[in-house]
Structure 1
């Protein structure tokens, strides 16, 4: 069992309950402390309190999409170093490029598996 994930705070922002629950289940199994948010506004309200170590954000969300959410996180000096991983059901170059422009650190295509999720965390959380 990989213990490097113990007490690691991971935020998952997705308007899909299924995705949130799947990610939360996977992450809790490896010892992560998981904070979920249903959209960008919900996430921004929780980030300041929870100070996550890494954030996964869905691109397609109502009100505030993943790009806007990522840009707002990265524009905040307190959180600009926090890795933000975009989640998308589209595996497009345009989406990846746009994700990079707003400062995202990586891009995972849904449906993602445990390995991709943990691999992303391993890559960014030292």
Structure 2
């Protein structure tokens, strides 16, 4: 099931309150993941590198970060600490820890457990699929606070 441009957005569903930051240096990867996440009802902000992601985290609170692992300058693994520090400094009253998801094509030879040991909350293999994203959102939404009414 691929969302197509010009289709009616889905009604507000179980993922409608999720605020997602998407970080990937490849514009096409960002666009596909953004379309999928929006189709699932998420509010999505995307950026092409860790430095601009940190700026976004300081300016806005997110529930989940999906970050490419293999990026130039600062990679997603090194970004984990930067993301968490920025979130803690900018949002000290946060009710739960920012969830960070690794997105990788597997070129580093790391296993799912390696990504978790590195500090990620979850690992998704590229190419990302709609049902894969849906499963991750379902898994983690229960650990996130309900949206303010």
Provide the TM-score with structure 2 as the length reference. Answer: 0.75
CA contact (8 A) 1:39 1:61 kept: yes
Instruction: Report the CA distance shift for 1:77/1:40 in structure 2 as closer, same or farther (over 3 A).
Output: closer
The total of aligned residue pairs comes to 126
1:40 correspondence with 2:50: yes
1:41–1:77: structure 2 CA closer, same or farther, 3 Å change rule?
Answer: closer
Q: What secondary structure sits across from 2:56 in the alignment?
A: helix
For 1:70-106, what per-residue CA distance to the aligned partner results, in whole angstroms no more than 9, with x for missing partners? 1222345627811111000017663544422331011
- What residue number does 1:15 align with? 25
Which consecutive aligned stretches of 4+ in structure 1 deviate over 6 angstroms post-superposition?
A: none
Shifted more, 4-13 versus 87-96: the winner is 87-96
Which of the two has greater helix per residue? 1
3-state secondary structure, aligned to 1:52: coil
User: Structure 1: how far apart are the matches of 2:111 and 2:28?
Assistant: 22
Larger Rg: 2
Residue from 4, 26, 49 that aligns with 2:36: 26
